[in-house]
Amino acid sequence: MVRLLCNGKGSGRRHLSTRLEPMAYHHVAIATRNLHASHRFYTESCGFELQKVVANPTPEGQGWARHLFYATDGGEMLALWDLHTAAIPEDYPTAISTGLGLPEWVNHIAFAANDLDDMQARRQRWVDNGNDVAEIDHGWCRSIYTNDPNGIMVEFCVTTTAFTDADRTEAARLLDAEMPDLDLTVPDIQFYVANASA
């Protein structure tokens, strides 16, 4: 896309000599083949608010696309692509993991819950809106998971342990290990079945 937008005149890779400040992301964009089901999931089940919709011709000039932006309440946004172009097959895969031949838990979108009470309220909202939910205590964070209408795993997560210098040192060691030490702790997993009347 960058190459297409720059007419193939990319400047190549450069190393910056100054350190940039860390920042939050602006938005994450995913494609949907069922716009209204995705809109319902992200507004009714997740509580996000639609902020902006932009519709434009596609860059290759063979159709049009609608880009929807939802506030996630953390300053960042989730964006949906509603694509209408002959350049893309109608049955394109929307699942960002299984569509690539990976298990569904690999590529996923994790949103921050404010605290454990907020996460439990979001879990109940998912269940009440017809979504099965898994909750996992990872030891250093606690998460709830469900799948959106596009087959994408969505997570709300709360960090429950403050990171220390020792954690950062261990992270650097594990990054470079040819075979890192495996954590064989079996996590606490609970399942919640969707409300049948939703």
Structural domains present in the chain = 21-92 (3.10.180.10), 99-177+185-198 (3.10.180.10)
How far apart CA 62 and CA 81 sit, in angstroms, is 16
Q: What is the pTM of this model?
A: 0.85
Tens-digit pLDDT profile for residues 45-86: 999 999 999 999 998 888 999 999 999 987 899 999 999 999
pLDDT score at 2: 47
Q: How far apart are CA 95 and CA 145, in angstroms?
A: 15
The answer to whether residues 154 and 38 touch, using CB atoms and an 8 Å cutoff, is no
Q: What is the pLDDT along the chain (198 residues), one digit of tens a residue?
A: 444 444 455 555 555 557 777 778 899 999 999 999 999 999 999 999 999 999 999 988 889 999 999 999 878 999 999 999 999 998 999 999 999 999 999 999 999 999 999 999 999 999 999 999 999 999 999 999 999 999 999 999 999 999 999 999 999 999 999 999 888 888 999 999 999 887
d(CA 109, CA 64): 26
Reading the block at residue 189, the tokens are: 């997993």
